Structure 1
Amino acid sequence: MLIKTMMAGAIALAATATTSTAATFDFVSIANAYDGLADSGNSRHEAEFDTLNAFNSSLFTVDGITISDMTAGYTSGNYAEAFFDKTDGSGPAGLGVCHTVTPQDASGCSTAGGTGTDAGDDNVTMGESVVIVFDQAVSVMDLVFYNGTHKLLNGAVEINGLNINVAGGVLTAADYLNINANSLFAPNQVSFANNGSEFYVGRIDVTAVPLPASALLLLMGLGGLGAMKRRRKAA
């Protein structure tokens, strides 16, 4: 009970300390606007984060908050890239993952017969994950998800290590409290993984967490761990 109270207080303080407007990173718009940016070996001209960031890094800075990196993973050990998929006749897409069988600068995700997997792998499929790394501590304020067929997602997504049920593409207020509380030891990162549902991250809205508030969150987390150890010893 004490730990829950401490955590709730720290999260509330961080929320009240953040007064700036949320920075919106619209991955659907980014994918659509740069559809014509040819990537090496990519026949559909959709691109990985590294390609877009090298071409125009200002795409990933909004209201003083910057996405400094995106890393992708695949459980089978193959190479993976954070990948942007454009809107098609079925609807919007956004940020996904493409894994490959060999290391290369471009995944070739949309290249027929290339070294990468086919275009059907450009969402976050089973075994894939993606981490958004910011240049500062942030709180997640809003997320929008689409499924593998470019419709609003209804299904489970792993966010910051938590199994979150997404309904109509969005989360609940309680979900955001849990997601932000679970980022104490990496407050500048937001992670996503397939937990049974293929998905794209269409948009993420974040606010900066001032240093005193983010430091307090970490201290509260450490204090909570210490309290747990003391209670176990006493028992």
Structure 2
Amino acid sequence: MKTLSTIAALLICTVPAGAATFNFGSAPNAGSNTWTVDGVTTKATAGTYRDFPNPDTIICSDCETVTRNSSGLGVSSHLFDTGDIDGSVKNDLLTLTFNSVVNFGSVVFSGWGSGDSFDLFIDGLLVDPEERAANSSGYYSLAGLMGTSISFGADAGLLGGSFDRYRISSIDVAPVPLPAAGLMLLGGLGGLAAMRRRAKG
């Protein structure tokens, strides 16, 4: 029984699964803007959102076109668009939807400028603070955030000031372990122990 108690303790203290890194600049398209890395699948969609006065309003989540080049993922929302995620004409939104709940690790932006900022949505809800800035190399930590989708928005700023412009180069995520799987295994081990006791008796 001591062995079962030890196994139970190990199962309850589940160890997080390894991180999956999506490098969008070099990853081949797998069709429909979908990629799989280490068993984690994500699909990219493009849309637009309202910034002022209601920054938490996503106008559409799959009404624009996802673009991809060696710098990463972007959004095309009009005829003369550069394909970057930007706040020119419309507030672009790029959403990554995962096949399960994940812990978000970090994101790297390409084409990031000192005046750029982004709005962050998890599962369609704006995460405060509204305007966020990566470091000079485009790196931003997402530690502590968890969900099935993450969206990055770019806007023109208050009163139509200079607009944000960047691409998503890469993102790190880690699948959230399912406690139910550990409990099922524990139940199976308990059943085996009971059968062993019966066989001895």
TM-score bin (small chain): 0.5 to 0.7
Aligned residue in 1 for 2:24: 27
> SS where residue 21 of structure 1 aligns?
coil
**Contact 2:48 2:64 survives alignment (8 Å):** yes
Please provide the CA RMSD for this pair.
Answer: 2.8
- Select 2:134's aligned residue among 160, 166, 179: 166
- Select 2:75's aligned residue among 97, 100, 107: 97
Gaps of at least 5 residues in structure 1 are 1-15, 35-51, 87-92, 101-116, 214-235
Aligned residue in 2 for 1:85: 69
Normalising to structure 2: TM-score of the pair?
0.60
Instruction: Give the whole-Å Cα distance in 2 for the aligned partners of 1:153 and 1:140.
Output: 23
With over 3 angstroms needed to count, the CA separation of the structure-2 counterparts of 1:56 and 1:98, relative to structure 1, is closer
**Contact 1:17 1:209 survives alignment (8 Å):** no
| Residues 144-159 of structure 1 mapped to structure 2, 5 A cutoff | 144-147=108-111, 152-154=112-114, 155-159=116-120
Aligned residue in 2 for 1:125: 86
With over 3 angstroms needed to count, the CA separation of the structure-2 counterparts of 1:75 and 1:142, relative to structure 1, is closer
Normalising to structure 1: TM-score of the pair?
0.52
Aligned residue in 2 for 1:176: 143
- Select 1:192's aligned residue among 146, 152, 160: 152
Aligned length: 139
Identity across matched positions, percent: 24
Bigger fraction of residues in strand: 2
Give the AA of the match of 1:72. A
- Select 2:99's aligned residue among 118, 132, 135: 135
Bigger fraction of residues in helix: 1
**2:171 corresponds to 1:207:** no
| Higher Rg | 2
By how many angstroms is 1:63 displaced? 0.8
Instruction: Give per-residue Cα distances to partners, 1:156-208, cap 9 Å, x unaligned.
Output: 11122233221120124xx532xx1xx5xxx1111110044211010001000
Instruction: Give the whole-Å Cα distance in 2 for the aligned partners of 1:193 and 1:18.
Output: 32
